[in-house]
Chains A and B, each alone.
Chain A
Amino acid sequence: MVFAMPSTLNRRISCRRKKMSLSPNAKVVLDVRDLKTYFKTDAGVVKAVDGVSFTIHENETLGIVGESGCGKSVTNLSIMRLISDPPGKTVGGQVLFEDKDILKLPESEMRNIRGNKVSMIFQDPMTSLNPFLRISTQMIETIRLHEKDISKDEALKRSIEMLKLVGIPSAEKRIFCYPHQFSGGMRQRVMIAMALSCKAEVLIADEPTTALDVTIQAQILELIQKLSKELGTAVIIITHDLGVVAGMCDKVCVMYAGKIVEKALTDDLYARPAHPYTEGLIASVPRMDTASKNKRLFSIEGQPPNVIDLPPCCPFHPRCHKCIEVCRHAYPAVKDLGNEHSVACWLYASQDEIDKAMEGVR
């Protein structure tokens, strides 16, 4: 159902998206290769992120979806090098940004990138601002930390501009408020303004709208989309909401138990989900536009796995409705289905590959 509204509505904003097909020579901004982050716990090693690879081009929006505990947040904290060590450690892989592996940079150089060239918006706007400091102080600090030669007044001016850009009314006055004087949606706007105040090239948004209401969510998503288009920022959106992904992203990675199980262009993913998990995930969401009423929802049985000491097989097999013998014994290789669509599932492997994997078992 398309919600056609009476033309009298002046607040009519069309939800257009960036063109799907990116020019083939668009610059790769961030290239994550085989990233591995493990946590050592008393119960065993938690492989929170286990060999995740993806690339993101400028002007592109990438979605990372998955259920809680699948490692989507840890992936991005690892990119920002914000994993506390111990217990966590990024044990392998590369994150290439401007042809440098930022996992190997000394901390001093990393500080120059973090928050400056790669910025992050957190889920909870209540806890990610310092309640003791005025918004102005916090914004000026961010700007001056990364651009040493800018004066306080200039930084303040830039901050006010940024607040106006994200749509905070009477920004000149509101900038001197404390965070508690702002509502949840306004705080999230402030976070976005801070994240973008240094003209970041990559913006990582970790569940940016989960704590917000739908009407506010629509405002914030619209804003991120608008800004990324204007400033050419590449955006990574982490979410569990498949609706948000459908509206915002060009590409999607689906994560399960620390691994990317499927990667595709957004349209492809929704039209032809390849992995049974993706398929189940899409089918289990009630939809407003189709008559799912009174019918039972498709549900993925069972619980997400405990990622401690996972056996070397497909972690989804106990919940999979298409599970075959080989799934219980070996992890499937990533299979390219063409058109940037890849999947890690035995259903797409050839008989030879399956036989080979089964031989190893016997």
Chain B
Amino acid sequence: MSENTQKPLLQVRDLKQHFPVSSGLFRKKMGAIRAVDGISFDVYPGETLGIVGESGCGKSTTVRSIAQLYKPTSGSVIFDGLDLCNATEQEMLDVRKNIQMIFQDPYASLDPRMTVRSIIAEPIVIYNKRHMLEKQMSNRDIEDRVEYLMERVGLNKAFKNRYPHEFSGGQRQRIGIARALALQPKIILADEPVSALDVSIQAQILNLLGDLQKEYGLTYIFIAHDLAVIQHISTRVVVMYLGKVMEISEAVELYDNPLHPYTKALLSAAPIPDPDIERKRQRIILTGDVPSPDKERIGCYFYDRCPNKHPYCATHIPPLLDIKDNHQVACWLYDKGKLE
């Protein structure tokens, strides 16, 4: 792909996000939940980077750390040459304009007491007040912009004085998208934007996101647990497990040729809506559940559930190995010398 010659828009380097767990009378620090435990990847302009994994694997924490909604424990997030983890408040304010989020739950992510107009206009109003927009906007301009955005995402602009509860789930997700678009961001972090929606509505929202990307040249980081959705929308895919990256690859390559045992299991577990295929498929059923991310690990994070485990894996953390262009995997199976 030509993307490697491009400069990445966003670079994540060894990002760690640990949440302290304290207990006892004096709230003594007992340990930490290692939600994200050292991950690195690049995001190139104009692409959609899909992040996939089971619940609790740190997908949401990753994007929230990128947006600096949590202060990362260590590591760096470099956007436009600026390390967001060490940025000042003023610098952050400037950058946030370019990084917007869409959330999973369209019911919880909109303020029930605000009208649709004020929800979509809020980011514009905030930046307008601080004179941080390219050109100062009048109230009339803001009004026009809100109406334009509503129409663009497929909402009737006559509804702008209504409240979120008057809309269905799919329409609310459209409001969330309009709000994310309001400041013309460069990158949108979409945290499971279609998981709460019905199938027919899910298709509408996926199409809308695709259209918007073409129209505005947006870059997405797109989280989902549905592998088919990820395949449909992504250029490249990151597979996460227990706060670690297991595999990064171009989407087509990943689905045709999964390397990591976890990716293979994940792909084989996802149901395909076709009875013929379903009946003939070989499934790898993983045993057990995802372990708790509360202790430091010395071996492969997937060791407990891996069907191909090897004694060496228990004591050595595999690095991300380059298998071919744009395909990296963190598994000792692909470093044969080590397993001998």
Contact = CB atoms under 8 A, between A and B. Distances in A.
Interface of A: 1-5, 8-17, 67-68, 183-186, 213-219, 221-222, 240-247, 266-267, 270, 280-282, 284-289, 292-294, 296-301, 303-304, 319
B202 A296 contact: no
B283 A14 contact: yes
Contacts of A270: 273-276
A43 B204 CA distance: 29
B269 A286 contact: no
Given A3-B268, A287-B228, A300 B286 contact: no
Interface stretch (B11-19, B35-43, B85-93, B249-257): B249-257
A240 B272 contact: no
B279 interface: yes
A242 to B, nearest CB: 4
A1 B171 CA distance: 35
B289 A186 contact: yes
Contact of B274 (A213, A289, A298, A300): A289
- In the complex, the 8 A-B pairs of residues with the closest C-beta atoms, listed nearest first: A243-B271, A286-B232, A284-B203, A218-B269, A299-B203, A242-B273, A247-B278, A213-B54
Interface stretch (B99-107, B113-121, B184-192, B259-267): B259-267
A314 B242 CA distance: 48
A280 B273 CA distance: 13
User: Looking at chain B's contact residues, is the secondary structure mostly helix, strand, loop, or mixed?
Assistant: helix
Contacts, number: 181
B226 to A, nearest CB: 8
A293 B251 contact: yes
Interface of B: 54-55, 168, 170-171, 198-204, 206-207, 210, 225, 227-229, 231-233, 251-252, 255-256, 264-287, 289-290, 307-308
Contacts of A246: 271-275, 277-278
A289 B277 contact: yes
A219 B287 CA distance: 8
Q: A13, A14, A183, A284: which has the most chain B beta carbons within 10 Å?
A: A284
A242 B199 contact: yes
Contacts of B201: 67, 303
Contacts of B308: 8-9
B275 A288 contact: no
Contacts of B255: 1, 288
Contact of A240 (B168, B170, B199, B271): B199
B283 A183 contact: no
A56 B267 CA distance: 32
B272 A243 contact: yes
Contact of B229 (A286, A289, A298): A286
Contacts of B225: 213-214
Nearest to A286: B232
B271 A215 contact: no
Given A12-B282, A244-B271, A284 B227 contact: no
A288 B270 contact: yes
Q: A4, A185, A296: which has the most chain B beta carbons within 10 Å?
A: A296
Contacts of B272: 243, 246-247, 287-289
Given A1-B255, A213-B290, 12 more contacts: A2-B280, A11-B287, A14-B282, A15-B281, A214-B269, A218-B286, A247-B272, A270-B273, A288-B228, A289-B277, A297-B207, A303-B168
B289 A247 contact: no
B269 A282 contact: no
A247 B203 contact: no
B265 A215 contact: yes
B202 A9 contact: no
A118 to B, nearest CB: 26
Contact of B268 (A5, A287, A294): A5
A243 B287 contact: no
Contact of B285 (A13, A285, A287, A303): A13
10 contacts: A3-B264, A3-B284, A5-B264, A5-B282, A8-B308, A222-B285, A246-B274, A288-B255, A288-B267, A297-B207
B284 A15 contact: no
B282 A286 contact: no
Contacts of B283: 3, 13-15, 218, 222
Q: B210, B275, B282: which has the most chain A beta carbons within 10 Å?
A: B275
Given A5-B268, A286-B232, A17 B279 contact: yes
A303 B170 contact: yes
A298 B276 contact: no
B198 A304 contact: yes
B289 to A, nearest CB: 4
Contacts of B285: 11, 13, 215, 218-219, 222
B53 to A, nearest CB: 9
B338 to A, nearest CB: 17
B200 A299 contact: yes
Q: B255, B267, B283: which has the most chain A beta carbons within 10 Å?
A: B283
A297 B207 CA distance: 6
B228 to A, nearest CB: 4
Q: A3, A243, A296: which has the most chain B beta carbons within 10 Å?
A: A3
A214 B54 contact: yes
A267 B279 CA distance: 11
A4 B280 CA distance: 10
A286 B206 contact: yes
Q: A10, A216, A242, A267: which has the most chain B beta carbons within 10 Å?
A: A216
Nearest to A250: B275
A163 B47 CA distance: 47
B200 A67 contact: yes
A304 B284 CA distance: 37
Nearest to B277: A289
Contacts of B275: 246-247, 266-267, 270
A9 B284 contact: yes
B22 to A, nearest CB: 20
B265 A284 contact: no
A67 B168 CA distance: 13
B328 to A, nearest CB: 20
Given A243-B273, A282-B273, A303-B168, A297 B281 contact: no
Contacts of A245: 273
Given A288-B270, A293-B232, A297-B232, A4 B282 contact: yes
B55 A299 contact: no
